[in-house]
Structure 1
Amino acid sequence: MKIIQPPFLKKGDKVALTCPAKKLPHAMTDAIALLESWGLEVVLGETMVASYHQFAGNDTLRAADLERFIKDKSIKAIFAARGGYGTIRIIDEVDFMPIKEASKWIIGFSDITVLHTHVFSVFGLQSIHGQMPVTIPDGTAASLETLRKALFGEEFSYHFSAEKLNREGEAQGILVGGNLALLAAVSGSVSDLDYDRKILFIEDVGEYLYNIDRMMRTLKRAGKLKNLAGLMVGGFTELKDNEIPFGQTAEEIIFDVVKEYDYPVCFNLPAGHIPNNQALIFGKTLNLAVQKQHTTANYI
């Protein structure tokens, strides 16, 4: 597959904000101010103020809003304003073909994993897993700076402390992944990923421990974890347990599922549903070094 890297942003570029999933709780004033401080012109979609049950407008409106910005050649990046739930309801109703010729960055995380996997599996298009307008007010300065650098083509890397369950080693591969629940949800569809020789990133929020176990084993049974180049685990936050405890932490569950393989595994990557949600460039080749005291990763 040919990998497509969208053009990096420059001052004066137009970027769009749209809501393909859950409706917004309030205006995205802070996010708009930040993007404008980077020299960008912000265009707001109809979904930014729309409401239909829990969604940012009905499925037809949300699909049309996203498609509008995909087709608009003056828009150089599309920010999903928030996640929640709903992107999978519209993914097959959106015409993504124009993005192949006039490529542009898609930014978001959580439910937006559906967009990340779809544009990469179908078009080979790189995209950015990072802070969204709804999370920008609570984001760390470091996470927002990695987002800016990713969008404007500046170099950045990751360096974080080791965890006891890490499996040491070095790997090189294209970075893919996202929210574990959504990776399981798109499995077997046109939006599914080819995991072989990739470095996989996973994160999740609000899940029961037993369901993390089930989703990991679902991916394993589908053959998706066997031939990875490496595994990077981000935040698994706000987790729940049953009255009868599951008996393992999320990290222990994940390692137990992949313990028979020999690729490097690292935990504690600063990405996911956390304030320090540092940007990841999906579809870009990453060098990963999991060492005894720390883990480092950089793009090539």
Structure 2
Amino acid sequence: MIQNPSFLSENDLILVISPSGVVDEDVVTKGAAILKNAGFQVEISPNAFNPHFKFGAKHQERLSDLQFALDNKEAKAIYCARGGFGITHIIDSLDWTQFKKNPKWIIGFSDITALLHNAFQNGYYSLHASVLQGLPKLSTEYQKHLIDTLSGDIKALKAESSFHKSGSANGQLIGGNLSLLIHQIGTQTELDYSNKILFIEEVAEPLYHIDRMMLQLKRAGKLKGLAGLVVGLFTNLSEDKSIYGQSVEEIILDHCKDYDFPIGFNFPFGHGEDNVPLVHGAEVGFEVEGKEAYLKYLIDNT
């Protein structure tokens, strides 16, 4: 049974952590100011601005901050300052006992995908959304979308594409960054994809890597039991169709051709100027017909 933590109200506390890559303190501070202007309290963890080479801090320091945030009795949300790389160094050492007594929203994407999966395994929704360092770079529209979602105003999504594969399905929405999905296979944070609606996004990969990762999902049996596939943004790719012979859409459709689940492309989430929040683990309805696709939440927004 997957549950949603309480939605946030004015003056609720958000803790900021840097569990993965090194952050830009000035930009994170600007992101925190956006949350404060929305009426929330914000506290920065002790090691959030304590960089250690490529990482936000030393492994033990990042683990300490994340464990403190999970255990905190007052906070209503944990906002990851950045993705990058590093969460999987510490994720298997987490203790979720106190979190279950005081559940809170975990917010982030990209490398934070693994942490969202861990929250799901422990029975809770989380928020696949811009990391705090990315929040100031989003338009005010997308910033508001995040604030609204945290406050319980969860909106349906629509996407248009000529590559859609028609169909309809209901199921739990899981997924995240495609590379991180691959890296969870065979680990403690690997999820069961059966009857799930999977969402994926990626950044800065050559097309042959996309091909390889989709093939890995297929060979690992992750595609055959899906209820649906929601495809977000694939940005800053280092190859195009003229080099590889297939586009991202064609690669995905090719690997999914043996299955009858609906596929929707071009949803506005991922590493780009558009990054709408997705409630990871929530029950959704997925409808794809012609060039239009809709993702509607089936959870209580109150």
Instruction: Establish whether TM, by shorter chain, passes 0.5.
Output: yes
Retained in 2: the 8 A contact 1:14–1:76?
A: yes
Q: Which amino acid aligns with 2:138?
A: G
Q: Which residue of 1 aligns with 2:165?
A: 167
Q: Which residue of 2 aligns with 1:226?
A: 224
Q: Which residue of 2 aligns with 1:95?
A: 95
Q: Does 1:72 align with 2:41?
A: no
Q: Which amino acid aligns with 1:248?
A: Q
Q: Which amino acid aligns with 2:261?
A: Y
Structure 1 CA distance, aligned partners of 2:24 and 2:263?
37
Retained in 2: the 8 A contact 1:288–1:298?
A: yes
Structure 2 CA distance, aligned partners of 1:237 and 1:140?
18
TM-score (norm 1): 0.95
Q: Which of structure 1's runs of 4+ aligned residues deviate more than 3 A?
A: none
Name the SS of the counterpart of 1:49 in structure 2.
coil
Retained in 2: the 8 A contact 1:142–1:278?
A: no
Retained in 1: the 8 A contact 2:34–2:136?
A: no
TM-score (norm 2): 0.95
Q: How does 1:45-194 map to 2 (within 5 A)?
A: 45-121=45-121, 123-161=122-160, 163-194=161-192
Retained in 2: the 8 A contact 1:50–1:56?
A: yes
In structure 2, runs of 5+ residues without a counterpart are none
Structure 1 CA distance, aligned partners of 2:82 and 2:157?
24
- Distance apart, 1:254 and its partner CA: 1.1
**Residue correspondences, number:** 296
TM-superposition CA deviations, 1:56-114 (whole Å, max 9, x none)? 11100001110011111111100000111111111112222222221110000100001
Structure 2 CA distance, aligned partners of 1:155 and 1:245?
40
Q: Which residue of 2 aligns with 1:261?
A: 259
Q: Which amino acid aligns with 1:157?
A: A
Q: Which residue of 2 aligns with 1:237?
A: 235
- Distance apart, 1:209 and its partner CA: 1.2
Q: Percent identity?
A: 39
Q: Which amino acid aligns with 2:268?
A: P
Retained in 1: the 8 A contact 2:164–2:291?
A: no
Q: Which amino acid aligns with 1:151?
A: L
Retained in 1: the 8 A contact 2:164–2:292?
A: no
Name the SS of the counterpart of 1:15 in structure 2.
strand
Q: Which residue of 2 aligns with 1:273?
A: 271
Q: Does 1:34 align with 2:19?
A: no
1:286 is matched with which residue: 265, 284, 287?
Answer: 284
Name the SS of the counterpart of 2:132 in structure 1.
coil
